[in-house]
Structure 1
Amino acid sequence: MVEEYTSGKYSLADLSTKHNIGTRVILLGLINGIEIKDYDPKGDIYTMKSGKTTFEERLEIAKWVIDNNMSYKDAAEKHGITYALVYKWTRAYLDKGPEALRYQKRGPKPKSEIDKSKLTEVEKLKLELEKERTLRR
């Protein structure tokens, strides 16, 4: 597909239709230099419900993909999760190691967890002022 795209003969939309693959997947493949061999999406892969998984499950799935010739589609079908999640977990595992598969809470840290020794005087004063405002309410 990379050769077809870079030759200028086909647009992304043309390749998408020709190979029955989404343009986003083609772009990911082009960006990451991945050869997409096994991708022939079925409607059920996109509509599968992905429940919460444990670190161990994500690790097992990523290792299964690597051990089985990078078959993201087969892993998605086998484990009943989306292709996108299988791809994301496998790439994270390969790029950053197993710890990348641990759940990481997003958003700002609670104020109680902030290391005040690393704050500037202004930041410390702002925190103190915020604390006083919440106490007055």
Structure 2
Amino acid sequence: MIKGRKTSYEERVEIVKYCIEQQNNYAETAQKYQVSYQQVYSWTTKYETDGVEALQDKRGKRKTLDAMSEIEKLRAENKLLEAKNKRQQMEIEFLKKLEEIERRRS
């Protein structure tokens, strides 16, 4: 079990992006970024239910969402949407390949 470490908002966005691209492989993502499995799972679930704003650490004195520039919010959301699109494209390619293999067998 890996002990958790402090992460920035940008790191959490990057970790969730990687996890989504890897078909939600939490163990691999946790190992690569040296964070706990539970934390990766939690961040990914929060993103999927509440969006990119849920990845904000609301403890202590941090920038509020109102204080964040619109560009910062959009960049983070854009990264995550790119990861989601990449995953969907991989799924489409996989299904096409599977269909091709099934046609060869027939």
TM-score (norm. length: structure 2): 0.54
Q: 1:64 aligns with which of 6, 9, 18?
A: 18
| Alpha-carbon shift at residue 57 of structure 1 (Å) | 0.4
Q: 2:58 aligns with which of 104, 107, 117?
A: 104
Structure 1, unaligned stretches of length 5 or more? 1-45, 107-137
Identity %, equivalent residues = 38
| Alpha-carbon shift at residue 50 of structure 1 (Å) | 1.5
Q: 2:6 aligns with which of 52, 55, 67?
A: 52
For residues 73-112 of structure 1, what are the structure 2 equivalents within 5 Å?
73-105=27-59
Partner of residue 33, structure 1:
none
Matched to 1:56, the amino acid is E
Q: Tell me the SS of whatever aligns to 2:59.
A: coil
Matched to 1:58, the amino acid is R
Give the ranges of 4+ consecutive aligned residues of structure 1 lying more than 3 Å apart after TM superposition: none
Q: Cα RMSD (Å) of the superposition? A: 1.2
Matched to 1:72, the amino acid is Y
Structure 2, unaligned stretches of length 5 or more? 61-106
For residues 95-134 of structure 1, what are the structure 2 equivalents within 5 Å?
95-105=49-59
Q: Tell me the SS of whatever aligns to 2:12.
A: helix
| Alpha-carbon shift at residue 100 of structure 1 (Å) | 0.3
Matched to 1:79, the amino acid is Y
Cα distance between partner residues in 2 of 1:101 and 1:79: 16
Partner of residue 79, structure 2:
none
